[in-house]
Amino acid sequence: MSSETSEWSGFYKLPINERQKKIAQACNLSGEEQALLNLQGPLSLDVADKMSENAIGTIGLPLCIAPNFLINGKHYLVPMAIEEPSVVAAASHGAKLALPEGFSTTYSGSIMIGQIQLVEIKDMKKATALFDENKQKFLLLAQSSAGHLTKYGGGVVGASSRAIKTKRGEMLIIEFHINVQDAMGANAVNTILEAISPQISQELGGEARLRILSNLATMRMASASCIWKKDAIGGSDVVEGILDAWAFADTDIYRRATHIKGIMNGIDALALACGQDWRAIESGAHSYAALKNNALTYFEKTKEGNLKGSISLPLAVGTIGGSLRVNATANLCLKILGAKTSGELAQIMAAVGLAQNFAALRALASEGIQKGHMRLHARNVAAAAGAKANEVDTVVELMLKNNKIDEQAAKDALALLQKKSNPNNVG
């Protein structure tokens, strides 16, 4: 297909059906393929067209529920949008093994950091001193642009400055601390920074370049902890195995990358279901792990020989604003979850991440992660081979019995099943 600028100029201005036709023609889509673009689901094409740019359709993911989560004495049903069955199963089982005590969580508050970058400053020492002298004035100026937050009890709560040396010279970074309450806060923070940067630049000297929030939300921390009884999780050997697996990740950067991916499996699935900016959440988590040089989670053995786990990470999430205003399914998921505030949502996410990580480490330390993963994956393989809903379980069992899980094994198992069901069929 051609992608010359002239051919695609104004593509965003076309109605969604015209965009679909243009893509179908350019990519030689079949009628069946074009029909996929017109499938109407929980997110209608009209809403999708308003939510994003150049929309031509929607894409589906399974919406699942992870039960068994008891957090701060409250039971939660956790919605997860994800295609990987082992993630949902692991989160649910990890939470179940934590009963009857469940998880304890805390939240530091909904304060985001917004940054203004000043360059070409002739006298850095003077500029820093001027900021300190005028800090209160700058805070009041910023607060005057935060009316959309103050009516909800939020607003600007602090500011600081720091000089950094870069390959482009010395720069002064002005940081505002903004309480965004139950919003994720990106738009609110950026609006305030845009409004106040001209006067700050004028009074301190230099030129304001970037004016944007930081996704490393170190003033918006969610933490969770839990104790798993050794007898419930497989005994002392499993406890020791989990501790060794965690220590590996806490020390080795290559193992840590996959360890944190396992944590984010659950957090991302919950974030996606509830209409959160999971890219910002991912960025913050990985940046925080790099900043602290740790694996986000911490495991230790109690004096009784049980396993204690904890997690702490920045979680910038919201229960109001953004796409939540038009995404009915995300609002439905928040209702199922029962999270009323951004703080409650963040704490649930932290508990889910800890449960996910525990379950993965336990699988690695005992039977190996692949056995359970492949059993669940076998259902996808069976479905892809053409097994109907009432045939999938039997096809899976036949594949597992033969210790072979792939498309051909699924087709062979399906053929055998259908032959047994209809022995007179010789076609």
The answer as to whether 404 is a domain residue is yes
Q: What residue numbers bound the domain in which 103 lies?
A: 63-108+227-366
Please pick, among 93, 182, 373, 391, the residue that the annotation labels catalytic. 373
Provide the pLDDT confidence category of residue 150 given band limits of 50, 70 and 90: confident
pLDDT reading at 158 higher than 60: yes
Q: What pLDDT is stored for residue 427 in this prediction? A: 44
Number of compact structural domains in the chain: 4
The mean per-residue pLDDT over the stretch 109-116 comes to 98
Last residue of a domain, one of 320, 342, 366: 366
Q: Is 231 a catalytic residue?
A: no
Please pick, among 84, 203, 240, 282, the residue that the annotation labels catalytic. 84
Q: Is 286 a catalytic residue?
A: no
The answer as to whether 22 is a domain residue is yes
What integer best gives the mean pLDDT of the chain?
A: 91
Please pick, among 277, 286, 344, 391, the residue that the annotation labels catalytic. 277
- 19-23, 38-42, 123-127, 364-368: the lowest-pLDDT one: 364-368
The answer as to whether 221 is a domain residue is no
Q: What pLDDT is stored for residue 417 in this prediction? A: 76
Q: What pLDDT is stored for residue 370 in this prediction? A: 52
Q: What pLDDT is stored for residue 371 in this prediction? A: 57
Q: Is 282 a catalytic residue?
A: no
Instruction: Give the CATH number for residue 387.
Output: 1.10.8
Same domain assignment for residues 407 and 323: no
Instruction: Give the CATH number for residue 128.
Output: 3.30.70.420
Cis peptide preceding 100, ω within 30 of 0: yes
Q: What pLDDT is stored for residue 375 in this prediction? A: 60
Same domain assignment for residues 36 and 82: no
Question: Can you tell me the distance from the alpha carbon of 234 to that of 237, in angstroms, rounded to the nearest whole number?
Answer: 7
Question: Can you tell me the distance from the alpha carbon of 197 to that of 303, in angstroms, rounded to the nearest whole number?
Answer: 54
Last residue of a domain, one of 347, 366, 385: 366
pLDDT tens digits for range 14-50: 999 999 999 999 999 999 999 999 998 899 999 999 9
Environment class of 121 (CB within 10 Å of its CB; exposed 0-12, middle 13-18, buried 19+) = buried
Same domain assignment for residues 297 and 412: no
Please pick, among 261, 292, 335, 371, the residue that the annotation labels catalytic. 261
- HEC letters along 305-343: CCEEEEEEEECCCCCECHHHHCCHHHHHHHHHHCCCCHH
Question: Can you tell me the distance from the alpha carbon of 353 to that of 102, in angstroms, rounded to the nearest whole number?
Answer: 14
pLDDT tens digits for range 252-276: 999 999 999 999 999 999 999 999 9
Asked whether the whole model's pTM tops 0.85, one would answer yes
Q: Count the Cβ atoms, other than its own, within 10 Å of residue 143.
A: 18
- Which residue is associated with the tokens 């993630």? 87
Same domain assignment for residues 362 and 240: yes
The mean per-residue pLDDT over the stretch 301-320 comes to 97
User: Phi and psi of 61, rounded to 5°?
Assistant: -135, 150
Q: Is 407 a catalytic residue?
A: no
